[in-house]
Amino acid sequence: MRRILLLLSIVFVVFSCEEEETKITFSEKKITTAQNKIVEINIPIAKGNETVANNINSSIEAAVINSINFDPDAPSKKQSISESIDSFNSEYTAFKTDFPESAMEWEAQIDGEIMYQSEAVISVALTTYSNTGGAHGNLIISFLNFDALTGQSLKNDQLFNDTKSFKSIANTYFNEKIAGKEEFYFEPENFVLPQNIGFNDTGVVLLYNNYEIAPYVTGLTEFTIPFDELVPYLNFM
């Protein structure tokens, strides 16, 4: 009996260790360089199953690089985040050389957070603020969704098994959100889903960035649809 209990204990420990190794966890990482003076980046880094974590981290890294890139060919050059930070600083140095009389100081800040994590799906939000001149800075929030089992990025239409029904429900919530403020939106009667759809602890989040459906002064438009109303239409929970 003692041998059996001992064997069971060993098996339990082994399986527990394997589960810990495959579970995806996140820690925050600040990224900068020796040259950097104007860029601040704080993003979540996935750890655990190597393949899954690498897929997630690669997608987050690509989104960060894209957020501060000036060179449209940069993605093909496979820049790192550090190289992109230095490129941003170099662009500012060149700007100051060409326009020494300008008092404008450039800046960029990117912050990432885990919106939602389950055994099926992981949602990450990246908030990017940059200012390279103009009347005001530019604030953009991006949602990144991942299959928790593979780490592969998920497109919005992969989140639902019935996009048409989901859109109909979302339209109702959108109309409630902008009720009394319709005049501030571009063609509110022609509803379109936002580029950013993600998950939080209470439901599915829809977010429209500045200029996406309204002028800059209107700001971001965001609302959440409770899971209870969407269970029949969700591919991931």
Give yes or no for residue 171 having a pLDDT over 90: yes
Domain 155-237 classification at class level: alpha beta
Give yes or no for residue 59 having a pLDDT over 90: yes
Interval 60-75 mean pLDDT: 82
* Beta strands at 221-226 and 39-47: parallel, antiparallel or unpaired: unpaired
Name the 3-class secondary structure at 198: strand
Q: For residue 2, what pLDDT is reported?
A: 54
* 19 phi, psi to nearest 5 deg: -65, -40
Instruction: State which fold the 22-154 domain adopts.
Output: Heat Shock Protein 90 (3.30.565)
Q: For residue 17, what pLDDT is reported?
A: 46
Q: For residue 72, what pLDDT is reported?
A: 59
Give yes or no for residue 52 having a pLDDT over 70: yes
pLDDT averaged over every residue in the chain: 90
Cα–Cα distance measured from residue 141 to residue 110, given in angstroms and rounded to the nearest whole number: 10
Q: Give exposure, 219-236, as e/b (b: 16+ Cβ within 10 Å).
A: eebebbbeeeebeebbeb
Give yes or no for residue 159 having a pLDDT over 50: yes
Q: 15: pLDDT confidence band, cut at 50, 70 and 90?
A: very low
- Residue 44: how many CB atoms within 10 A of its CB? 21
Q: For residue 22, what pLDDT is reported?
A: 67
Q: How many residues appear in the chain?
A: 237
Cα–Cα distances in Å, from 50 out to 24, 56, 75, 149? 9, 10, 23, 12
Interval 41-48 mean pLDDT: 98
Interval 3-31 mean pLDDT: 64
Q: For residue 14, what pLDDT is reported?
A: 42
The residue among 228 and 133 whose pLDDT is bigger is: 228
Give yes or no for residue 3 having a pLDDT over 90: no
Q: What percent of the chain has pLDDT over 70?
A: 87
pLDDT tens, position by position, 90-140: 999 999 999 999 988 999 999 999 999 999 999 999 999 999 987 778 999
Q: Is 4 exposed, middle or buried (0-12, 13-18, 19+ CB in 10 A)?
A: exposed
Strand ranges for the chain from DSSP E: 25-31, 39-47, 107-117, 121-131, 138-147, 196-199, 203-208, 221-226
* Beta strands at 121-131 and 107-117: parallel, antiparallel or unpaired: antiparallel
Q: Where are the domains of the chain?
A: 22-154, 155-237
